[in-house]
């Protein structure tokens, strides 16, 4: 038994779960691990976030408390060892939006999708109405521009090779555009999409939308989480649903739709370029070979964002410098899986 396994066993024993079998739950792209335990017919989730691998449960605790205080369905925290990186969480089940919607077809699919996504929009409206929690960081223009440039650092470097001059020109343009955005900062959860949202029909109102994976929440632009939800790297969201949900948000918040559209597509470009780089890095550096399979969808979202009239200057900087993720490029990334430590 490793030291980590022994620490986990001690934590579970201290809270009455000694000897109970762990059933793995699908995790995320981090070093965190999630397991389900059942006792007396009741399930809980163990979050194992090793501090020695850079994980910290304190932001999760802080944001979960804030969300629950707003009446939103973040999991209740039953027990915590902050120093060791263990939490026992309320089990919200397995009905992720993506799983609920996957088997549906036709009118039933459209009606259910509209209901779930409308609920997710209404959660954002409530979240943005509230004051920011104390001591939250800000996702500022400089950090966002640098993260968007990961597309050059990892995706371009892993396909056709690096180009420092193209990277620098893109980053400067992205920084300038992001710095011009004006909006009251709100709490953004950062990974607000169909595989981090749960449908809880037994609850009422906003509590029907269960929230996961929000430990990286920061202050940022109100459009950011809409981009995360409606320009999803893992599932197709129709342009019609996207337009309808943006209109729902703008109507509920009194936001000017024209100005919001510019911000939405700029942040879409920023986020999707970051994802392009992160997914390439997860393959090249971390050995997670399935992530390049998502790149064609991400590239399609980039192409949709970049045709917005306010973003015309970005076309040569992006599509003129980054290659389309063709099958050859995707296979090339996979052939280097786990081999590249820096880019």
Cα 69–73–78 angle (5° rounding)?
80
Task: Give which of 207, 264, 196, 232 is closest to 25, Cα–Cα.
Answer: 196
Mean pLDDT taken over the chain: 96
Distance (Å, whole) CA 314 – CA 274: 15
The confidence score (pLDDT) of residue 343 equals 66
Rounded percentage of the chain residues whose pLDDT exceeds 90: 94
The confidence score (pLDDT) of residue 51 equals 95
Strands 33-39 and 42-48, bridge-based pairing: antiparallel
**What stretches of the chain show up as alpha helix (H) in DSSP?**
3-14, 58-69, 97-101, 106-129, 141-148, 150, 157-159, 164-179, 224-230, 239-253, 257-284, 295-306, 315-318, 327-335
Lookup result for tokens 């037994």:
202
SS3 (DSSP) at 55:
coil
pLDDT band at 30 (very low <50, low <70, confident <90, very high): confident
**Terminal-residue alpha carbon distance, the chain:** 35
Is the per-residue pLDDT at 27 higher than 70?
Answer: no
Structure letter (DSSP) for residue 73: B
Task: Give which of 282, 138, 146 is closest to 217, Cα–Cα.
Answer: 138
Is the per-residue pLDDT at 40 higher than 90?
Answer: no
Task: Give which of 60, 53, 51, 48 is closest to 83, Cα–Cα.
Answer: 51
The confidence score (pLDDT) of residue 28 equals 59
Q: Report yes or no: 272 and 301 within 8 Å, Cβ to Cβ.
A: yes
pLDDT band at 57 (very low <50, low <70, confident <90, very high): very high
Instruction: Read off the tokens for 162.
Output: 């690096």
pLDDT, tens digit, 9 for 90 and up, residues 254-273: 999 999 999 999 999 999 99
Is the per-residue pLDDT at 26 higher than 80?
Answer: no
pLDDT, tens digit, 9 for 90 and up, residues 61-115: 999 999 999 999 999 999 999 999 999 999 999 999 999 999 999 999 999 999 9
Strands 209-211 and 33-39, bridge-based pairing: unpaired
Helix, strand, coil fractions of the chain, as percent rounded to 5? 50, 10, 35
Instruction: Read off the tokens for 257.
Output: 């739709």
**Residues contacting 201, CB < 8 A, separation 6+:** 208
The confidence score (pLDDT) of residue 256 equals 95
Instruction: Read off the tokens for 116.
Output: 């779930």
Environment class of 251 (CB within 10 Å of its CB; exposed 0-12, middle 13-18, buried 19+):
exposed
Is the per-residue pLDDT at 140 higher than 90?
Answer: yes
**Residues contacting 340, CB < 8 A, separation 6+:** 157, 158, 284, 285
CA 342 to chain centre: 23
pLDDT, tens digit, 9 for 90 and up, residues 167-192: 999 999 999 999 999 999 999 999 99
Environment class of 331 (CB within 10 Å of its CB; exposed 0-12, middle 13-18, buried 19+):
exposed
Cα–Cα distance list, 96 to 35, 49, 74, 103 (Å)? 16, 22, 14, 12
> What is the mean pLDDT of the segment spanning 218-230?
98
pTM for this predicted structure: 0.95
Is the per-residue pLDDT at 145 higher than 70?
Answer: yes
SS3 (DSSP) at 168:
helix
Q: Which domains does the chain have, with CATH numbers?
A: 3-90 (3.30.200.20), 97-335 (3.90.1200.10)
pLDDT band at 149 (very low <50, low <70, confident <90, very high): very high
């Amino acid at each position: 038994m490793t030291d980590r396994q022994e620490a986990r066993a001690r934590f579970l024993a201290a809270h009455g779960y000694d000897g109970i079998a762990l059933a793995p739950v699908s995790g995320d792209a981090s070093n965190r691990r999630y397991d389900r335990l059942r006792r007396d017919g009741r399930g809980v989730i163990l979050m194992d976030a090793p501090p020695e691998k850079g994980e910290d449960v304190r932001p999760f605790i802080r944001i979960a408390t804030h969300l629950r205080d707003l009446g939103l369905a973040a999991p209740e925290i039953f027990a915590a060892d902050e120093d060791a990186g263990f939490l026992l969480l309320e089990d919200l089940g397995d009905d992720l939006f993506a799983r609920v919607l996957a088997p549906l077809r036709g009118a039933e699919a459209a009606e259910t999708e509209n209901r779930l996504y409308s609920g997710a929009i209404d959660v954002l409206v409530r979240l943005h109405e509230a004051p920011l929690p104390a001591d939250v960081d800000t996702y500022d223009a400089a950090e966002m521009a640098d993260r968007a440039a990961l597309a050059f650092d990892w995706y371009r470097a892993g396909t056709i090779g690096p180009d420092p001059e193209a990277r620098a020109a893109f980053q400067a343009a992205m920084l300038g555009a992001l710095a011009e955005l004006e909006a009251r900062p709100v709490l953004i959860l950062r990974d607000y999409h169909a595989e981090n949202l749960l449908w809880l029909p037994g609850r009422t109102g906003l509590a029907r939308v269960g929230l996961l994976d929000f430990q990286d929440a920061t202050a940022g632009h109100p459009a950011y989480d809409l981009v995360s939800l409606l320009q999803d790297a893992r599932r197709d969201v129709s342009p019609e649903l996207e337009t309808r949900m943006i209109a729902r948000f703008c109507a509920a918040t009194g936001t000017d739709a024209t100005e919001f559209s510019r911000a939405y597509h700029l942040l879409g470009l920023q986020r999707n370029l970051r994802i392009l780089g992160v997914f390439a890095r997860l393959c090249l550096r971390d050995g997670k070979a399935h992530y390049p399979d998502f790149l064609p969808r991400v590239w399609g979202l980039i192409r949709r964002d970049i045709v917005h009239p306010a973003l015309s200057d970005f076309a040569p900087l992006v599509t003129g410098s980054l290659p389309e993720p063709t099958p050859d490029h995707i296979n090339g990334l996979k052939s280097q899986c786990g081999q590249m430590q820096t880019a």
